[in-house]
Amino acid sequence: MELRVLRYFLAVAREESISAAAQALHLTQPTLSRQLMDLEAEVGRPLFLRGRRITLTEHGVLLRRRAEEILALADKTAGELAAAGETVAGDVYIGAGETQGVHVLTRAAMRLRERYPLVRFHISSGDTMDVAERLDQGLIDFGLMFEPIDRKKYGVCPLPVWDAWGVLMRRDSPLAQKEAVAAGDLADLPLIVSRLMGRRDSLDPRHPLGRWFQQLPRPLNIAATYSLLYNASLMVEDGLGYALCLGGIINTAGESGLCFRPLTPEAPAHMGVVWKKQQVFSKAAQRFLAVLNGGEP
């Protein structure tokens, strides 16, 4: 399965038209059609539903996801090889959730770019599950994760900052009168939780909310789950429920109709920058890690 053909496949999936894709790829339509037929023969499955517009079959959807991952990794590798000379240049890929800890990464990036302005940083957003998946696939160099972190699998640079778990709620909620929220305060209330917390049985007891969750009633009244907090804040704003989340991410100052209250007892969220063990770093990534560890660029 050639990378070139995968790019052709993605172009057709994007354009939903063989003729439009052929024009974008500067190919003739018969040439592109033949390449797609050869690809379907190679995988042994139909990839397209051909009609007035081209749509993907179930197998086509799977191939699109895998093709995007394969091509992203190939492009990342090509960039690293092109920047493998003596000059420190190239791209550093980081995955991170929504946390104030990103400031540590951006300050380290600024220090590195002051000395090596040809280094570029790419930060992709996602929750812990997203970051771990992209890290394991080799699509990013580093991930910003919250404890607990699997130190048998990952190298870790602990960060000297931490976030606090709490509840995002409407300012007109009765709970807004409290300075902190206890587990009993949330009994029977509709909760909006991260998708990891939504899988309650999989929540690691070492997680800062692991023991705290044990105080909550069973089953939880989960109204919704989220992967990024901004969307959860809209749910809270519209009255769908109370969001268990980290503080300092959603702006609740001024005329905002929302407020954040920390949990009691306190549930701190410690974090670290992680990478796969035996990871082969580019020079740019090596220097970035050195800065994170307190060294010189």
* Cα separation, 60 vs 63, whole angstroms: 5
Q: With a cut of 70, which residues of the chain have pLDDT below it?
A: 80, 82-86, 198-206, 215-218
Question: What pLDDT is attached to residue 202?
Answer: 47
* Cα separation, 37 vs 113, whole angstroms: 47
Question: What pLDDT is attached to residue 85?
Answer: 58
User: From the CB of residue 197, how many other CB atoms can be counted at a distance below 10 Å?
Assistant: 20
Q: Which of 60, 33, 30 is nearest to 48 (CA)?
A: 60
| Tens digit of each residue's pLDDT (9 = 90 or more) over 189-211 | 999 998 877 665 445 666 777 77
Q: Is 69 helix (H, G, I), strand (E, B) or coil?
A: helix
CA 113 vs. chain centroid, Å, equals 24
Q: Using CB atoms within 10 Å of the CB of residue 26, give its burial: 0 to 12 exposed, 13 to 18 middle, 19+ buried.
A: exposed
Question: What pLDDT is attached to residue 236?
Answer: 97
